[in-house]
A and B are shown apart, each in its own frame.
Chain A
Amino acid sequence: MNAPSDWELVALARSGDDQAFGQLVRRHEQGLIAFCHRMAGSRDEAEDLAQDSFIRVYRHLSRLRPEAKFSTVLFGIARNLTLNYLRDTKRRGRGRTRSLTRDDASEEPVCDPGHTPDSRARLREIETLLERALERLSPEHREVLVLRELNGLDYEAIATVTKCRTGTVRSRLARAREQLRIRLLELGGGEL
Chain B
Amino acid sequence: MNDDKITELLSAYLDGESGDPEAVERLIGGDPAVRRRFEVLQAQSRALRALPPPEVSPAFAARVLAGARQERFRPQRGWVALAAPWAVAAAVVLVLAAVYLAIQTPPEPGAPPMAREIREWREVDPDVLDTLLLERIAADPDALEALDSAYAGVAPDAGVRYAADDPVQTVYEDAQLDALIEALTPDEEAVFRELLFAYAMEG
Contacts and interface: CB of A to CB of B under 8 A. Distances in A.
Interface of A: 18, 21-22, 25-26, 29-30, 33-34, 37, 43, 46-47, 50-52, 54-60, 63, 65, 67, 73, 76-77, 80-81, 84, 107, 109-110, 123, 126-127, 130-131, 145, 148-150, 154-155, 163, 170-171, 173-175, 177-178, 180-181, 184, 191-192
Contacts of A155: 15, 17
A177 B41 contact: yes
A29 B68 contact: no
A79 B17 CA distance: 23
Given A84-B203, A155-B15, A174-B8, A63 B64 contact: no
A29 B4 CA distance: 36
A54 B63 CA distance: 11
B52 interface: yes
A26 B51 contact: no
Contacts of B69: 18
How would you classify the secondary structure of chain B's contact residues: helix, strand, loop or mixed? helix
Contact of A181 (B44, B50, B60): B44
Q: Is the interface of A mostly helix, strand, loop or mixed?
A: helix
A130 B201 contact: no
B48 A80 contact: no
A18 B64 CA distance: 11
Given A56-B203, A80-B203, A150-B51, A191 B11 contact: no
Interface residues of B, number: 40
A154 B11 CA distance: 13
Contact of B198 (A56, A57, A163): A163
B61 A29 contact: yes
Interface of B: 4, 7-8, 10-12, 15, 17, 40-41, 43-45, 47-57, 60-61, 63-65, 67-69, 71, 194, 197-198, 200-203
A134 to B, nearest CB: 8
28 contacts: A25-B61, A29-B60, A30-B56, A34-B54, A43-B54, A50-B60, A51-B67, A55-B67, A55-B71, A56-B201, A56-B203, A57-B201, A58-B68, A59-B71, A65-B197, A67-B194, A76-B198, A77-B203, A81-B203, A123-B50, A154-B15, A170-B11, A170-B12, A174-B7, A174-B10, A177-B7, A178-B7, A181-B40
Contacts of A22: 61, 64-65
A110 B52 contact: yes
Contacts of B50: 123, 127
A52 B64 CA distance: 8
B7 A29 contact: no
A60 B154 CA distance: 36
Contacts of B201: 56-57, 60, 73, 76-77, 80
Nearest to B49: A149
Contact of B197 (A67, A180, A191): A67
Contacts of A46: 54
Contacts of A81: 203
Contact of B64 (A54, A180, A192): A54
- Residue among B45, B54, B55, B202 with the highest chain A CB neighbour number at 10 A: B54
A126 B200 CA distance: 40
A51 B56 contact: no
